């Protein structure tokens, strides 16, 4: 049956099997089209065929409604009658025809492996959580839909923070949430911090001091193939797209060992370059340091010859408080010195304001405004201080596996799309 809609379309109600409706929903999102437009095109193409297509299993079909141009549903009904197929079968064939003619797009692969250096000289701002969450969001299944905050609306968040400082933070507007397919990127997370926080948080084991490690490869003293140290993160959840290079406590000695190496700034690149062909994105969780290890990380994230600006670079994690601003100044000064000394371009991918809670009052809200006012680099992520991240760390699971619908997970997906 059909009933008039308030626009130039009419509402039609029929039935469709759940599996076909879900396939339609995912494929429409993958192509960035509305479901009603996909159904309209499928019906049009089906009606233009010489005869009905192969029958579709419609067992278990339940209610399905959409909006079509006036008259299309009546024309469709007549053609279905002429072909002696039910409306449900005709609609199922139309949807399947659209799916067949609009296959899932291939996952976009970068020409040059993206290298994202997550950094800040200050500890405790949540660099590790952002590294993990960003990598998880980039590696999510391209054939499944997940909630994403497609518009962060920082101005709205600021306004809410200033006027409702005594209320729970409401950084997300439900109207800004959209279900989108995952990017499907092949991601390597590199734990570059001797404290091994990323390794421990994701349930892996730090590498033994008497074995091989990233430090050994950077210092020119490898004991094997670095690939042999890599572990998969939640193989079932990410289908082998998310890997981790665990840390070793020997990284506490990295600066000393690098001081004896020629071209020490290139140490991290020499170690990781052989792995790049296996990944779309490599994300480095940096230690809270301004030493030689940070120089090596910054150099690794530099813009290479023929690489487009913003493909790789530094993602700076801060909190909405004063000490983060002091650390930010130290870090950007180090980057400026490297640019001048080595004549390289190091792009800023943006600032992530992490662990934000407007209930902390003026310090939080004014600091957030200060980060937004910087403009270059711009704020690309606002992640709330909520319990799910802490719980995920406690149970040693990826946040997006442990709490995929949490506001923090939704924010991580928004961040991933900002830096893609």
| pLDDT value for 259 | 86
What is the spatial distance between Cα 359 and Cα 218, in angstroms, rounded to a whole number? 44
Cβ–Cβ under 8 Å, residues 371 and 320: yes
First to last CA, the chain: 44
What is the spatial distance between Cα 18 and Cα 321, in angstroms, rounded to a whole number? 49
| pLDDT value for 155 | 47
| pLDDT value for 3 | 44
Does residue 84 carry a pLDDT above 50?
yes
What is the spatial distance between Cα 400 and Cα 146, in angstroms, rounded to a whole number? 10
CATH 3.40.50.300 residue ranges for the chain: 114-419
| pLDDT value for 162 | 46
Q: What is the pLDDT of residues 206-230, one digit of tens each?
A: 999 999 999 999 999 999 999 999 9
| pLDDT value for 164 | 46
What is the spatial distance between Cα 236 and Cα 141, in angstroms, rounded to a whole number? 11
Cβ–Cβ under 8 Å, residues 183 and 138: yes
CATH 1.10.1220 residue ranges for the chain: 2-101
Q: Which of 347, 346, 410 is nearest to 381 (CA)?
A: 410
Q: What is the pLDDT of residues 280-337, one digit of tens each?
A: 999 999 998 888 999 999 999 999 999 999 999 999 999 988 888 888 889 999 999 9
Q: pTM of the predicted model, to two decimals?
A: 0.90
Find the mean pLDDT for residues 142-162.
68
Lowest mean pLDDT among 60-74, 171-185, 352-366, 393-407: 171-185
| pLDDT value for 1 | 39
Does residue 165 carry a pLDDT above 90?
no
The encoded tokens of residue 42 equal 């499928």
Q: What is the pLDDT of residues 387-398, one digit of tens each?
A: 999 999 999 999
Q: CA distances (Å), 218 to each of 101, 196, 213, 226, 284, in order?
A: 49, 17, 9, 11, 14
Q: Give me the long-range contacts of 101-104 (CB less than 8 A, separation at least 24).
A: 101/45, 102/27, 102/31, 102/38, 104/27, 104/30, 104/142, 104/143
| pLDDT value for 157 | 53
Q: Give the pLDDT band (50/70/90) at residue 260.
A: confident
| pLDDT value for 358 | 84
Q: Give the pLDDT band (50/70/90) at residue 86.
A: very high
Average pLDDT of the chain is 91
Find the mean pLDDT for residues 27-39.
96
Does residue 11 carry a pLDDT above 50?
yes
**Burial class of residue 305 (count of CB atoms within 10 Å of its CB; 0-12, 13-18, 19+):** exposed
Find the mean pLDDT for residues 4-22.
85
| pLDDT value for 359 | 84
CATH number for 2-101 (one of 1.10.1220, 3.30.2010, 1.10.10, 3.40.50): it is 1.10.1220
Cβ–Cβ under 8 Å, residues 5 and 58: no
Does residue 233 carry a pLDDT above 50?
yes
Find the mean pLDDT for residues 48-62.
94
Q: Give per-residue burial for 177-189: e unless 16+ CB within 10 Å, then b.
A: beebbbbbbbbbb
The DSSP annotation for 73-106 comes to HHHHHHHHHHTT--HHHHHHHHHHHHHHHSPPPP
The larger pLDDT score, comparing residue 166 to residue 197, is at: 197
Find the mean pLDDT for residues 28-37.
95
- Helix 362-374 and helix 154-163, axial crossing angle in degrees, nearest 10: 160
What is the spatial distance between Cα 65 and Cα 12, in angstroms, rounded to a whole number? 6
What is the spatial distance between Cα 223 and Cα 226, in angstroms, rounded to a whole number? 9
| pLDDT value for 156 | 56
CATH number for 114-419 (one of 1.10.1740.10, 3.40.50.2300, 3.40.50.300, 3.40.50.720): it is 3.40.50.300
């Amino acid at each position: 049956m059909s009933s008039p809609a308030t626009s130039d379309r009419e509402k039609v109600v029929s039935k469709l099997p759940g599996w076909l409706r879900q396939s339609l929903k995912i494929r429409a999102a993958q192509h960035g089209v509305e479901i009603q437009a996909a159904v309209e095109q499928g019906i049009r193409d089906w009606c233009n065929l010489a005869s009905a297509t192969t029958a579709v299993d419609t067992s278990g079909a339940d209610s399905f409604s959409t909006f079509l141009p006036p008259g299309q549903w009546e024309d469709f009904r007549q053609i279905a009658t002429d072909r002696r197929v039910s409306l449900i079968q005709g609609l199922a064939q139309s949807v399947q025809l659209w799916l067949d003619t609009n296959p899932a797009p291939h996952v976009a692969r970068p020409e040059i492996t993206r290298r994202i250096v997550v950094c800040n000289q200050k500890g405790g701002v949540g660099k590790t959580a952002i590294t993990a969450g960003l990598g998880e969001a980039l590696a999510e299944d391209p054939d499944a839909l997940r909630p994403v905050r497609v518009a962060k609306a920082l101005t709205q968040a600021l306004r809410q923070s200033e006027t409702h400082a005594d209320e729970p933070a409401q950084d997300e507007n439900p109207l800004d949430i959209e279900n989108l397919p995952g990017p499907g990127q092949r991601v390597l997370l590199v734990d570059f911090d001797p404290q091994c926080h990323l390794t421990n948080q994701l349930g892996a084991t730090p590498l033994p001091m008497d074995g091989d490690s990233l430090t050994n490869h950077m210092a020119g003293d490898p004991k094997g193939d670095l690939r042999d140290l890599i572990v998969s993160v939640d193989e079932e959840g990410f289908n082998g797209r998310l890997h981790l290079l665990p840390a070793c406590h020997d990284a506490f000695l990295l600066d000393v060992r690098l001081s004896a190496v020629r071209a020490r700034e290139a140490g991290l690149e020499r170690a990781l370059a052989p792995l790049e062909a296996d990944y779309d994105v490599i994300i480095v969780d940096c230690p809270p340091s301004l030493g030689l290890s940070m120089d090596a990380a910054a150099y690794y994230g530099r813009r290479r010859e023929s690489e487009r600006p913003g493909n790789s670079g530094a993602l700076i994690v801060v909190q909405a408080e004063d000490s983060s601003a002091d650390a930010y100044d130290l870090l950007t000064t180090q980057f400026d010195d490297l640019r001048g000394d080595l004549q390289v371009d190091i792009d800023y991918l943006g600032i992530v304001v992490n662990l934000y809670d407007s209930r902390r009052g003026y310090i939080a809200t004014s600091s957030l405004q200060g980060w937004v006012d910087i403009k270059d680099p711009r704020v690309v992520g606002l992640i709330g201080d909520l319990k799910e991240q802490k719980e995920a760390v406690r149970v040693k699971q990826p946040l997006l596996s442990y709490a995929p619908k949490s506001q923090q997970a939704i924010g991580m997906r928004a961040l991933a799309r900002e830096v893609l």
